[in-house]
Amino acid sequence: MVPQHIAIIMDGNGRWAKKRGLPKILGHRQGVESVKKIVRACVDFGVKYLTVYAFSTENWQRPKDEVSALFKLLTNFIDMQTKLFHDNNVRVRIIGERGRLDPAVKSRIEQLEKDTASYDKLTLNIALSYGSRQEIVGAVKTLASEAKEGKIEPSGIDENVFSKYLYTNDSPDPDLLIRTSGEMRLSNFLLWQLSYAEIYVTEKLWPDFGKKDLKKAIDEYQKRERRFGK
């Protein structure tokens, strides 16, 4: 079966640029091309949900120039790819700390979410200023205040209820996690949601990752036996 939900840690843009003696930002720019290819490939393969890690809460610690260049690329991507989403019936959702985003970026994102809300071929979740621990703490805070106000009974909180308080509340858990560039870590990505995901790490750097590589990852996934502890 094709995985219903694929999550990707898009890593290696910096190394891709370095290998070529190019400025890092050109690696990020090439990375955007991979995103476009992979969105189309997911539509072709019948994947229903794609969650991509674009910018972590920790990435705010990068040089200011890099951060602003990354957000510029993102806003360009949103402006230029509206057609990609409309033509392919793709619903876009942003997950992460919206409050930390520049108001102009935030309003563009919200417009895009509104414009694509009714599409149902593929849901594309873009993790932006996203950190899993921060997401979990945020959920706990909301639950605690709702309990205090008497809106929810502590005894009524279970895994299902808790999941509804996460940013990913309208997507099922990922079946397959892909990380490019050979790093074997989660880097604070979807800690709760990845509990039983199959993990696939490739040496390919994100700007070099294309449809064939995605196919390879899906083929590998299909060979795995998922036991869920049983």
| CB crowding 212-229: b at 16 or more within 10 Å, else e | ebbeebbeebeeeeeeee
Tokens of 179: 């990380």
8 close to 53: Cβ distance less than 8 angstroms: yes
Site for ligand IPE contains 13 (CB under 6 A): yes
* Site membership for Mg ion, residue 11 (CB under 5 A): yes
Which of Mg ion, ligand IPE, none binds 56 (CB below 5-8 Å, type-dependent)?
ligand IPE
**Catalytic annotation on 87?**
no
**Which two tokens mark 13?**
């843009």
Binding residues for ligand IPE, rule CB under 6 A, total 17
* Cβ contact 160:88 at 8 Å: no
**Which of 6, 7, 12, 30 is in the footprint of ligand IPE by CB under 6 A?**
12
Give 11 or 213: the residue with its C-beta nearer to Mg ion: 11
Q: Considering only CA atoms, give the Rg of the chain.
A: 18
- Residue 154 DSSP symbol: G
Known catalytic membership, residue 76: no
Q: Which stretch binds ligand IPE (CB under 6 A): 109-117, 158-166, 181-189, 196-204?
A: 181-189
- Which one of 19, 114, 185, 215 is in contact with ligand IPE (CB under 6 A)? 185
Strand, coil or helix: what is 101?
A: coil
Task: Count CA atoms closer than 13 A to 64's CA, side-chain side.
Answer: 0
Output phi, psi for 88, to 5 deg: -100, 5
Instruction: Exactly one of 13, 59, 88, 188 is catalytic; name it.
Output: 59
Instruction: Give least dist CB 89 to ligand IPE, A.
Output: 26
Compare residues 70 and 94 and give the one whose CB is closer to ligand IPE: 70
For residue 108, is it left (φ>0), alpha (ψ between -120 and 50) or beta?
alpha
Give the residue, chosen from 5, 11, 50, 167, that forms a contact with ligand IPE under the rule CB under 6 A.
11
Pick one of ligand IPE, Mg ion, none as the site partner of residue 15 (Cβ within 5 to 8 A by kind): ligand IPE
Establish if 134 lies at the interface with ligand IPE (CB under 6 A): no
Query: Can you give the binding site for ligand IPE, defined by CB under 6 A?
Result: 9-15, 53-56, 59, 70, 181, 183, 185, 187
